[in-house]
Amino acid sequence: MVKLVAMTHADSIPSRSLSGLDSSQLSPLEQAKQHLIVALDVPTGEAALALAAQLEDQCQWFKVGLELFIAAGPAIVEKLAGQGHSVFLDLKLHDIPNTVAAAVRSAASLGASLLTVHAAGGPAMLLAAQEAAAGLTAAPQLLAVTVLTSMDRAQLAATGVAAEPAEQVSLLAKLGLESGIRGFVCSPQEVAAMRALTGPEGVLVTPGIRPSGADKGDQKRIATPTFALNQGASYLVVGRPITQADDPALAAEAILFEIAEALGVAPTE
Ligand code: C5P
């Protein structure tokens, strides 16, 4: 287990967790945990729960994406939340406003803490999603997905979008903000620009994270935890570097260690 001690260091990373806790009152290890989301990209509920159990001491947050949700159903969200974990439900909702609003309410009833919607669904859909969340006592924080990182200029153009990807990201981010959505999923390269748009209240969730020396997998636009946090990321989504490691708990600890350093806390050993 990595042991961490606090250093007196003011940092620019938001210290408030979604729960409203002031994370500076938490131990250094717990502070680092508040910024790490492990992507449970596995094909069955059993595999997801086994991984969550293996990572129990290192990880508070788990991401349930389409693969796992379709295989294991809403019960996997309820189980993880019931075990005290925080769940990022990454379903990238994109449908008519009424349907998306209803889906936001359903996700809230499962216990999800973060939920993605596609900003490309348009202002009416984003507003309906935000209003649905605002009407709930325990609503998930909505995160708008702007342009998928798999979309380049040619892919966008094929869908009738003539803008450069970066311009489209900015346009969709502004749509989200105008609808009252304060959370975004963004690549490490976009975090600084997105932080400038959202200000300190923005919740910026960043995949494409690789600790130094790690296998890139199929991710192209990657960055280290330190880079992403220094650019203004609130949460780092890490999948394969942890889930496919020989020892996932050890891999998670190494990432927590790096997060703690970026947050301004230091390990003793
Ligand atoms: O295994 P890896 O660390 O690449 O996993 C990253 C996770 O973040 C995956 O669940 C992937 O679907 C998700 N994601 C991403 N890039 C985006 C949006 C989401 O990698 N732009």
Give residue 2's pLDDT: 36
Out of 92, 174, 216, 220, the active site residue is 92
- Mean per-residue pLDDT, 255-264: 94
Range from 13-27, 50-64, 144-158 carrying the lowest mean pLDDT: 13-27
Residue 41, pLDDT above cutoff 60: yes
Q: Is the CB of 41 inside a 6 Å radius of any atom of ligand 1?
A: yes
CB within 8 A of 109, min separation 6: which ones?
A: none
- Mean per-residue pLDDT, 47-54: 98
Give residue 14's pLDDT: 45
Q: In 10 A of CB 35, how many CB atoms? A: 26
Ligand 1 closest atom vs CA 210: 3
Could you give the angle at the alpha carbon of 61 between the alpha carbons of 60 and 64, nearest 5°?
A: 145
Give residue 155's pLDDT: 94
Ligand 1 closest atom vs CA 244: 1
- Mean per-residue pLDDT, 185-196: 95
Neighbouring C-alpha atoms within 13 Å toward the C-beta of 219:
22
- Structure tokens, 205: 């969730």
Where do the domains of the chain lie, and which CATH numbers do they carry?
24-267 (3.20.20.70)
Of 41, 145, 240, the one to substitute when testing ligand 1's pocket (max ligand atoms within 8 A of C-beta) is 41
Q: Is the CB of 123 inside a 6 Å radius of any atom of ligand 1?
A: no
Question: What are the distances in angstroms from CA 251 to CA 1, 42, 64, 188?
Answer: 11, 17, 20, 20
Q: Is the CB of 140 inside a 6 Å radius of any atom of ligand 1?
A: no
DSSP 56: T
Residue 242, pLDDT above cutoff 50: yes
The predicted-structure confidence for 218-234, as pLDDT tens digits, reads as follows 666 789 999 999 999 99
Residue 22, pLDDT above cutoff 60: yes
Give residue 265's pLDDT: 82
Residue 266, pLDDT above cutoff 60: no
Q: Is the CB of 165 inside a 6 Å radius of any atom of ligand 1?
A: no
- Mean per-residue pLDDT, 50-64: 97
Where b means 16+ CB within 10 Å and e means fewer, 207-219 reads bbbbbeebeeeeb
Of 81, 61, 77, which is closest to residue 69 (Cα–Cα)?
77
State the residue for tokens 């293996």. Answer: 54
- Mean per-residue pLDDT, 196-207: 97
- Mean per-residue pLDDT, 115-130: 98
